[in-house]
Amino acid sequence: YVGNLSRDVTEALILQLFSQIGPCKNCKMIMDTAGNDPYCFVEFYEHRHAAAALAAMNGRKIMGKEVKVNWATTPSSQKKDTSSSTVVNTQRSQDHFHVFVGDLSPEITTEDIKAAFAPFGRISDARVVKDMATGKSKGYGFVSFFNKWDAENAIQQMGGQWLRGGLMRQTFSPFGQIMEIRVFPDKGYSFVR
């Protein structure tokens, strides 16, 4: 479910944005006659891509409006009442909490993000999103935790960290409060202040 859309948003634009995360089956735009904002449903082939889209796109601005992305309910409840379409979880996702990881340097792999986030708790899935055509990293990914508290803790601790810095942080934090970590992967050294 993608809501709070600008009236200028088209199905084609939504498909273009969301298919960067994973292959989309279809997109259905609902134009409300009562004058409310349009909303739409995006269907992915794979659950993990839908989960990544939810983590990546919720709260993002599309044409100047912050969109709301949520799990859609079953088709039977997609009535005129738009509030019914924002019911949260699907069964598969009830016990997973997704953390979006952005601004990754191109050499960061899925293994790297697993290693960096593993200390925060049990991970159900981790993935660097790759370009279908080139196989290169798109510079973002996601990590899914079984436990909500672990996910929130990871967001708090890792926000603004260099990912390789995340591993440094785990290694050096027992020795005192860390002010700054700077990693120079090409030179093979780091500074920890």
User: What domains appear along the chain, each with residue ranges and CATH number?
Assistant: 2-74+83-88 (3.30.70.330), 97-192 (3.30.70.330)
In degrees, rounded to 5, the angle at the alpha carbon of residue 108 between the alpha carbons of residues 143 and 125 is: 20
Q: φ, ψ for residue 62 (rounded to 5)?
A: -120, 115
CA 104 to chain centre: 13
Per-residue pLDDT of the chain (193 residues; tens, 9 = 90+): 898 898 888 898 899 889 888 899 988 888 866 677 788 999 999 888 888 888 888 888 888 888 888 887 654 433 333 332 222 222 234 457 777 777 777 778 888 888 888 888 888 888 888 887 888 888 778 888 888 888 878 877 776 655 657 566 667 878 888 887 776 666 777 788 8
Record the pTM: 0.42
Contact 144, 51 (CB under 8 A): yes
- The H helix count followed by the E strand count for the chain is 5, 11
CA distance 59 to 39: 14
Q: Which of 66, 71, 64 is nearest to 42 (CA)?
A: 71
Per-residue tokens: 190: 């780091």
Give the CB-side neighbour count of residue 3, counting CA atoms within 13 A. Answer: 14
